[in-house]
Amino acid sequence: MVRSPETGARLAGKIVLVTGAGQGVGRGAALALAREGAAVALAGRTVSKCVAVAEEISAFGGTALALACDVTERLQVDQAVAATVERFGGLDAVVNNAQSSMQRLIAETTDDDVELCWRSGPMATLYAMQAALPHLRARGGGTIVNFGSSTAIEGNATFGAYAMAKEGIRGLSRVAAREWGRYGIRVNVVVPTALSPAAERFRDADPERFRRQESRFALGRMGDPETDIGRAIVALVSDDLGYLTGDTLMLTGGA
């Protein structure tokens, strides 16, 4: 039975699978979704991190399920979707956040670099979308939220393999939006700039340089994974943005 926390019921009855949910934007999205009443399945390679997030959610009265899942393995993605449906009785949305990264100059980029980014990005996103499709159709529609990157849109140096992967996800998402709109399924991409664990390490190691980086943002700060990014994902999963599909939502603070 899906319980809704007292803090909100905007997504009451909704069931959402979030990949890479143990930290950063994935954790922020999971917390925001759960605070609004969704039952959230938390998938990640390090299941202990997902368990910790599930405990956070339980502490404020939400409902969560922690799942071990390496998104580069189709079988594990299929199993995560099946476990979510078995535990909660269905599936309304998938947030494909998990992604590995590699920074290297293009001249030095290896096949392994590309393979890492490609398998954890577009291929993993495809696996989750395909596994979720019959369950979303059974619910009469649903939402898929995929992730792009400003480093790909801007063409930042050393992000060649990562940019390939992220722009591949955006292309896949646009096609899926066209193909699956007939089923009431909306597919959109979020491009976030948020205080991830890597950004926190950068801030702590070099506060002055971090402040200079933040000055690039029109809003003067890096986004919060839950309140800035997670709440936008709540809007995408809810009916508030029910006419938005095949699009990219830039959550970069004006950078």
pLDDT of residue 3: 43
Please write the tens of the pLDDT for every residue from 191-217: 999 988 888 888 999 999 999 989 989
Q: Which residues of the chain have pLDDT under 50?
A: 1-7
Residue 159 counted as domain residue = no
Residue 61 inside a domain? The answer is: yes
* C-alpha–C-alpha distance, residues 249 and 255, integer Å: 13
Rounded distance between C-alpha atoms, residue 187 and residue 161, angstroms: 24
Q: What's the CATH code of the domain at 41?
A: 3.40.50.720
170-187 burial code (b ≥16 CB/10 A, e <16): bebbbebbeebeeeebbb
> What is the separation, in whole angstroms, between the first and last Cα of the chain?
42
Q: Has residue 182 been placed in a domain?
A: yes
> What angle, 0 to 180 degrees and rounded to 10, lies between the N-to-C axes of helices 160-180 and 124-138?
20
Residue 244: inside a domain: yes
How many domains is the chain partitioned into structurally? 1
pLDDT at position 198, please? 81
The domain in which residue 42 lies consists of 15-99+120-151+169-196+223-251
- Residue 8 covered by a domain: no
**Sole residue written with tokens 């309140």:** 227
| CB 104 within 8 Å of CB 158 | yes
42 within a domain of the structure (yes/no): yes
CA distance 60 to 182: 37
On whether residue 145 sits in a domain, the answer given is yes
Specify the pLDDT at position 8. 52
Residues serving a catalytic function are: 162
User: What pTM did the predictor assign?
Assistant: 0.94
Domain assignment present for 218: no
Look at residue 16 in the predicted model and tell me its pLDDT: 99
